[in-house]
Amino acid sequence: MSAPENLSECYTEELADLWSANDQMEKVVHELASKASDATLKKRLEKGAEGIAKHTKTIKELLDDCGVDEKEHCKGMDGLVKEARKHALDADISDDNVRDVVIVAQYQRMCHYGICGFGTTKAFAEALGKSDHVAKLDAITEDIYDTDENLSDLAERSLNLAAK
């Protein structure tokens, strides 16, 4: 994609970037779930991956509504995925409880990136008067916040304590 020339192009560029980010994140979250030893964590990661897939479907619908049908490679999520692989998947961690804590940390970093991206995109949609898009982006952002809070709660109540 070329450099955006107006807010509408900024908006579609952000959506295209989020599409790529979600595709990358969904794949690594499945990998993180397969490495998680805590059953609740595994279940929440699997549910998170399903949510990411639903969010990607919505992004594609929004882009389609704007006449765009391609994604742009998200270098930010690319870096976060590399970090997740390095620290949670490829690291030689002998204690499963410690690996679970690292998995949560890496997953939450990716969630926070998503919150930022969807929040920015929602602000663009608001400025463009796309109220139907705003509602969908707001729902996605709330889903990500909920997932992040649920994982924080799980980590604080059990995973972090088990990894001591």
Over residues 107-120, the pLDDT tens digits come to 999 999 999 999 99
Rg (CA), the chain: 17
Q: Is the pLDDT of residue 153 over 80?
A: yes
pLDDT, position 159: 66
Among residues 113, 117, 129, 132, the alpha carbon closest in space to that of 7 is found at: 129
8 A C-beta contact, residue 49 and residue 114? no
Kindly state the tokens that stand for 6: 């107006």
Mean per-residue pLDDT, 128-145: 96
Whether the model pTM is above 0.85: yes
